[in-house]
């Protein structure tokens, strides 16, 4: 396993981060335990979760994933070996009525409540990296490219959010803070406020990044390198699309898009066309398409860690093994050729 520094800290995190959002919905607790046991044996020391999980979000599974991880900590006694992340949800009045009655905002009250509840579920007294799951303000994330300012946008001030996080760090409940689904402006604004107030800096940005969505490169990649706010790449396989398993109108039993067709971010016509070419490129070079897609992300200089998710042990083993794959110049050139033809078909 390869390890990289988490931001400007002295913490080494594994290049592969174990994602958990299927645990409690597509995966049972026993299956999740098996995944965590295997991952740690392979040198993975970085686990990612969120209060929102399991996915798709609903009242019945809210917080279930954190509970499973907490039970694993108690069962295995491995808490000190794991760099653990979790997240507090942003505003979700229209689609998350089960979380704090749809009133969640990134203010002090919400952050304190959400963090304390997560700590209870996780059965730990600290979280190594606590992230804002998405911005409090209205901006372009979750598949939106263009920004249109809304007159009724009345976000919680970033200073208020950071002050609450600072107090959580001072209390020892949080060791580091990060952002997710964030824009270049947002990252720089958080960094500016933290510098002016001498509060903890953002150490990471968890955004989507895959062969179908390389928008992180446009503005955030330079920030990641110069400001030491490295990418934690989520959806690196585009909901599994880049494995090729959905091509030719296939609907594998139990797979996410088969179960929930509304998760269509990565299966528009352009994305399918690009995926066909990426799969053909991999097969031409005797590579597994999913491993090729992950290995590309692993090689990016602005990456801190690649968050993989799996519903089967076979998928998990293959995904973790991507750390051992180095892509040839010919394959990298082929990827760039396809990207020029199909730039970011799934923003």
54/18 Cα distance (integer angstroms):
14
Q: Secondary structure of the chain: what % helix, strand, coil (to 5)? A: 40, 15, 40
Tally Cβ neighbours within 10 Å of residue 252: 13
**Calpha distance 179→135 (Å, rounded):** 8
Question: How does pLDDT run across 282-312, given as a tens digit for each residue?
Answer: 999 999 999 999 999 999 999 999 999 999 9
Q: Say if CB 113 and CB 159 are below 8 A apart.
A: no
Of 3, 38, 53, 296, the catalytic one is: 53
pLDDT for 143: 79
State the alpha helices, DSSP H only, in 176-239: 184-197, 216-226
* Tens digits of residue pLDDT in 176-191: 999 999 999 999 999 9
**What CA–CA distance (Å, rounded) separates 181 from 195?**
22
The dihedrals phi and psi of 204, each to the nearest 5 degrees, come to -160, 160
Give the β-pairing of 202-208 and 174-180: parallel
User: What one-character DSSP code corresponds to residue 58?
Assistant: -
For residue 135, give both structure tokens: 């911005």
Q: What is the C-alpha separation between 155 and 137, in angstroms, rounded?
A: 5
**Structure-token match 């491995």, residue found:** 78
Q: How many CB atoms lie within 10 A of CB 343?
A: 13
Question: Domains (ranges, CATH) in the chain?
Answer: 3-341 (3.20.20.100)
Long-range contacts (CB closer than 8 Å, 24 or more residues apart) made by 339-343: 339/211, 339/214, 341/274, 341/277, 342/270, 342/271, 342/273, 342/274, 342/277, 343/214
Beta-sheet pairing, 12-14 with 3-5 = antiparallel
pLDDT of residue 264: 87
State the average pLDDT for the chain. 96
Note the pLDDT tens digit of each residue in 9-51.
Answer: 999 999 999 999 999 999 999 999 999 999 999 999 999 999 9
pLDDT higher than 80, residue 151: no
- C-alpha closest to that of 307 among 86, 76, 95: 86
Q: Indicate the pLDDT class of residue 148, thresholds 50, 70 and 90.
A: confident
The helix-helix angle for 329-341 and 289-298 (nearest 10°) equals 90
* 38 included as an active-site residue: no
What's the confidence (pLDDT) of residue 189? 98
Q: Which of 36, 118, 24 is nearest to 82 (CA)?
A: 36
Cα within 13 Å of Cα(139), Cβ side: 15
Identify the residue with better confidence: 152 or 73. Answer: 73
Could you give the 3-state DSSP secondary structure of residue 261?
coil
Alpha carbon dihedral 306, 2, 292, 262, in 10-degree steps, equals -20
pLDDT in tens, 99-144: 999 999 999 999 999 999 999 999 999 999 999 999 999 898 887 7
């Amino acid at each position: 396993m390869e390890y990289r520094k988490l931001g400007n800290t002295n913490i080494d995190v594994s290049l592969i981060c174990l994602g958990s959002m299927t645990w409690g919905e597509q995966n049972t607790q026993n299956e999740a335990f098996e995944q965590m046991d295997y991952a740690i044996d392979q040198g993975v020391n970085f686990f990612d979760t969120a209060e929102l999980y399991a996915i798709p979000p609903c009242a019945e599974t809210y917080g279930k994933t954190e509970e499973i991880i907490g039970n694993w900590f108690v069962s295995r006694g491995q808490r000190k070996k794991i760099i653990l992340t979790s997240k507090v949800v942003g505003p979700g009045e229209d689609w998350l009525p089960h979380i704090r009655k749809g009133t969640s905002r990134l203010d002090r009250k919400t952050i304190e409540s959400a963090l304390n509840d997560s700590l209870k579920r996780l059965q730990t007294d600290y979280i190594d990296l606590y992230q804002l799951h998405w911005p409090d303000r209205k901006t372009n994330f979750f598949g939106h490219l263009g920004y249109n300012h809304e007159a009724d946008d009345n976000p919680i001030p970033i200073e208020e959010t950071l002050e609450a996080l600072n107090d959580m760090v001072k209390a020892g409940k949080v060791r580091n803070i990060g952002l997710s689904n964030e824009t270049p402006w947002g990252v720089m604004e958080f960094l500016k406020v933290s510098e002016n107030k001498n509060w903890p800096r953002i150490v990471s940005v968890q955004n989507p990044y895959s062969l179908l969505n390389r928008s992180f490169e446009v503005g955030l990649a330079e920030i990641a390198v110069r400001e030491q706010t490295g990418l934690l790449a989520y959806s690196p396989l585009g909901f599994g699309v880049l494995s090729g398993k959905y091509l030719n109108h296939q609907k594998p039993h139990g797979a996410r898009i088969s179960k929930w067709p509304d998760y269509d971010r990565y299966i528009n016509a352009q994305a399918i066309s690009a995926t066909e070419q990426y799969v053909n490129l991999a097969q031409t070079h005797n590579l597994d398409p999913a491993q090729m897609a992950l290995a590309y992300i692993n090689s990016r200089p602005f990456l801190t860690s690649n968050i993989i998710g799996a519903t089967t042990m076979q998928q998990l083993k293959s995904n973790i093994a991507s750390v051992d794959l180095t892509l040839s110049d010919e394959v990298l050139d082929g990827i760039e050729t396809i990207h020029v033809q199909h730039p970011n078909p799934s923003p």
